[in-house]
Structure 1
Amino acid sequence: MMTCGIADLARAQTTQPAPKAAPKSAAPAANTAAKSAAKPESKPAAPPAAVAGGAEPTLIGQFGTWGAYSATPNGKKVCFALAKPSSSKTNPPNRPRDPAYAFVSTRPAEKVNNEVSVMIGYALKPGSESSVEVGGAAFAMYTQGDGLWIKNAAEEERMVEAMRKSAELVVKGVSAKGTETTDTFSLKGLAQALDKIAQDCRR
C-alpha cells in the first residue's frame, strides 16, 4: 500500500547518510522503505493519524505528479515532496525491481532544507556512483544501499533550482548484479510542492 510505504519512507528521510560518513543504520532503513512500498497505489492515499513507532505522514497537497507531505517521526517535524517515475527502463530489459521514488526533504530540527534523494528500488552496486541529469546538467550522486544523495552538497541548491525550472529528472544507476537502470521523473508540480512544504515546515 502507498500509505505504509510513505510512512516508512518518511522515517527513512530522517536517517540520510552524508558522503564518506554514512551511518550503517541508513541502508536498512532505506531497504525497508523500498520493500514496504513495493505495491504503491496510483493515487496518494490518506494516511491514518498515527502508526506504532511514529507518526503517519499527512498529504498536504498534490501538485502534478508530486505529493507534498508532512510528518513528525520521533517528535521532529519533516516535510517532503515525493514522486514516482513517469518511466523506468532496465538493461538488460524487464529486470524485476521495487518502485523508485524521488524526494526533496526539509528537516528543520537538523537545519536541512530541500535535500534531494532517490530510493531507487534495488541494491546499488557497492561503491558505485550514480548520476542525475536535469536542465542540461549532470550531478554525481553518492550511493548507499538503495539510496542516492548528491555527492557535492555545495551543488544541491543549484540542482534544486534546475529541478524547479525543468521538465524532467533522469536518474541512472547500476545494481549489485550489474543491471543498468534509467528512471525519468516528471517535474511538473515540483515547484508548487516545494513552496507548500516550505510553508508548512515554518509552522
Structure 2
Amino acid sequence: MFVRKLTTALAIVMACAGAASAQSPTRIQQFNAWGAYSYQAGAGKVCYVLSVPKEKTPASVDHGDIFFLVSQRPGQNISYEPQAMMGYPLQENSKVTVTIDDKSFVMFTKGNSAWVENAAEEPALVAAMKNGKAMSVAAKSRKGTATNYSYSLSGISAALKQIESCK
C-alpha cells in the first residue's frame, strides 16, 4: 500500500512540477518516514523528500492520497520548497496551517496543493521540520470539511541531507 501511494505521489509531483517530458522518478533512499527521490526534467534535475501522514482526521471522510514534500529544483533556482498535496480540492482562498511543535506556518492554496505564503519563511519551516518532534497539517476541503494530518518527522534530516547536492 505504501509503495502504491508513493507511485501515485511521484506521478502527482511530476505533473505539478510541469514535468511532461520528465523521466520516471527514482527512489534514492528511504529514511524512516521520509523518502528521497529524483527525476530528470528537461535540462535539469528535480530532487525531493516526501512522506505520508501517520494519522488522518476526520476518519469518516475519504481523504484520498495525502503527501507532504520538500523539493529542490536547481535549474529553476528553487531550494527546499515545502508543499502539502491533498487527495481532494482545497477550499478556494483558504489557508493551510503547518504546525511543528509550537511554531505555525501559513500556506496558500491552489487546487489540491498548498505552499508557504511568505517564501522567506520556507527555510524556517524546513529548519523546524529538522528539529521538531511533531508536525501537523490543517486544511479545509472545497466542501468545507476541516481536515488534519499528523506526520512523523523521523528521518527528515537524513532525507534532506541526501538531496542537498541535487544538480
Per the TM superposition, whether the score is higher than 0.5 is yes
| Percent identity (aligned) | 34
Structure 2 length-normalised TM: 0.91
Deviations 1:118-141 (A, max 9, x none): 102111111111111013111111
AA partner of residue 54 (structure 1): A
1:53 CA displacement: 4.5
What's 1:82 paired with? 50
Provide the C-alpha distance between the structure 2 equivalents of 1:84 and 1:105, rounded to a whole number of angstroms. 15
Any unmatched runs of 5+ in structure 2? none
Q: Relative to 1, partners in 2 of residues 1:53 and 1:7: Cα closer, same or farther, differing over 3 Å?
A: farther
Provide the C-alpha distance between the structure 1 equivalents of 2:136 and 2:106, rounded to a whole number of angstroms. 12
Provide the C-alpha distance between the structure 1 equivalents of 2:10 and 2:66, rounded to a whole number of angstroms. 15
AA partner of residue 189 (structure 1): G
Any unmatched runs of 5+ in structure 1? 16-28, 30-51
Aligned residues: 164
Structure 1 length-normalised TM: 0.76
Contact 2:9/2:67 (<8 A) preserved:
no
Deviations 1:139-169 (A, max 9, x none): 1110011101000111111111010011221
What's 2:34 paired with? 66
SS in 1 for 2:72: strand
More strand by share: 2
Provide the C-alpha distance between the structure 2 equivalents of 1:154 and 1:145, rounded to a whole number of angstroms. 23
Contact 1:107/1:113 (<8 A) preserved:
yes
SS in 2 for 1:11: helix
Deviations 1:90-121 (A, max 9, x none): 2xx51112110000000000111100001021
What's 1:176 paired with? 142
More helix by share: 1
